[in-house]
Structure 1
Amino acid sequence: MAAPASYDEIADWYETEFLPRSSADDPLGVDRSLRDLLGPGDGICLEIGCGTGVHAASVRALGWTPVGVDVSAGMLRHARGRLACARADAERLPVADRAVDAAIAMMVHTDMSAYAAVLREVARVLRPGGVFVHVGVHPCFCGGFADRSDPDAVVIRPGYGDRHWTKESWTDQGIRDKIGASHFPLAELLNAVLDAGMVPERFVESGGSTPAVLALRARIPAPAPR
């Protein structure tokens, strides 16, 4: 994951400046994708990398009980009023096997250099039939190789196929330029879901004519009836 100190340093800016600007009217369709793909439920929903807990209200509105983990103490300082949460590395979740009904990862996979290991942990803690929702920056159109300064004419430079970490960004108003981000090509991202033992069910692209967000719902297979 991104170094916790990096997010500790920007936690107040993230809460008071970045979130109000980026979440107003849900311009990228992040919350809409979460609601559509997660759907109603009444069990525990674990958020991986919950940050300041901003998505807990939507999870709760669907009937789920939100809980979260994050590696950054600074971000969790803002989250504690929004959901039950604990400081933990997503690669080593402090959760028993098959203990939760749902899990979500919201705009965080680029903070996790070992996202495949995180997905294996998600699969471990989900009950059979449990659902996982990933909502993240679109791997094909967002990254150090993508210039999004004109949303109607996104420029894709060489580098998409290179798995890399970078602080290169088209804007100084976001997170990538402050703490950096890992890039995963589309095939690697989707194969990581499959390799973790989860079965993809549905995909959503959102955020403009050239999508900025890719979301998916996957599920742990339930045992076949005897």
Structure 2
Amino acid sequence: MKAAYDEIADWYEHEFLPQGDPLGLQRVLRDLLGEGRGPCLEIGCGTGVHAALVRELGWTPAGVDLSAGMLRHARGRLPAVRGDAGRLPVRDARLPAVIAMMTHTDMPRYPAVLREVARVLRPGGMFVHVGVHPCFCGGFADRTDPEEVLIRPGYLDGHWTKKSWTDRGVRDKVGASHWPVQDLLHAFLEAGLVLERFAETGGSVPVVLAIRARKPQP
């Protein structure tokens, strides 16, 4: 299976990532994941840029991603395998922590991914989702003005699109699946995960919605 990111992996590593962390992803990951021990699986790990922080917090990072091109750049950052997030190569109830960093819009079957997350987590294990904000990011949102967002019809449609307000980002290149906030939160609940904490980052109009959820104890 060819992954969309294979075609842009070099651009992503050498041009997109050097822009830094303007959305505060490292801060919100540090806050929601926190210090811990044991394996922490990143689904859609891409080039593995978050592994250093995961390791700094005491966890042992590992990753899975569909894109062989992105995983080529991940070498040396974390151990990772090529695989489908909807069919994780992990046995039931094995992991204390799973994270997903800005990837849910790349996964048209994200509810199935959340069910896989719940399957591989130990009871009491946590899942940290950091993703684009459903309300203010998508083909319906024009973010040309950094101080405000123009919202056009389409938020509730729930669709895949390559439409983007900028040609310097990822979405105009690989597209995105949009999940309205109600559908996103319901998918967590239907997977059996307990919502625990939330965060928004990205300036006066949020770009990121982050969620910490937990697999309940029996």
User: For 2:119, what is the secondary structure of its paired residue?
Assistant: helix
For residues 41-120 of structure 1, the aligned pairs below 5 Å read 41-120=36-115
One of 177, 186, 196 as aligned partner of 1:182: 177
Partner of 1:130: 125
One of 10, 18, 21 as aligned partner of 2:16: 18
One of 173, 195, 211 as aligned partner of 1:216: 211
Q: 1: CA distance between counterparts of 2:148 and 2:63?
A: 37
Structure 1 residue runs of 4+, over 6 Å off?
none
Q: 1: CA distance between counterparts of 2:184 and 2:146?
A: 24
Q: 2: CA distance between counterparts of 1:28 and 1:14?
A: 16
Q: Match for 1:148: what amino acid?
A: R
Deviation, 1:125, is: 0.2
Query: How many residue pairs were aligned?
Result: 218
Sequence identity (%): 73
Deviation, 1:194, is: 0.7
Deviation, 1:80, is: 1.7
Q: 2: CA distance between counterparts of 1:94 and 1:133?
A: 19
User: For 1:69, what is the secondary structure of its paired residue?
Assistant: strand
Deviation, 1:5, is: 3.5
Q: So what's the TM-score if we normalise by structure 2?
A: 0.98
For residues 135-214 of structure 1, the aligned pairs below 5 Å read 135-214=130-209
Q: Match for 1:166: what amino acid?
A: T
Q: 2: CA distance between counterparts of 1:6 and 1:90?
A: 15
Q: So what's the TM-score if we normalise by structure 1?
A: 0.95
Q: 1: CA distance between counterparts of 2:14 and 2:30?
A: 24
One of 26, 31, 35 as aligned partner of 1:36: 31
Contact 2:6 2:67 in 1 (8 A): yes
Deviation, 1:81, is: 1.0
Deviation, 1:4, is: 3.8
Q: 2: CA distance between counterparts of 1:10 and 1:49?
A: 15
Q: CA offsets, 1:78-105, max 9 Å, x none? A: 1121001000000001100011110000
Q: 2: CA distance between counterparts of 1:44 and 1:197?
A: 21
Q: Match for 1:152: what amino acid?
A: E
Q: 1: CA distance between counterparts of 2:4 and 2:186?
A: 29
Contact 2:3 2:66 in 1 (8 A): no
Q: Match for 2:14: what amino acid?
A: T
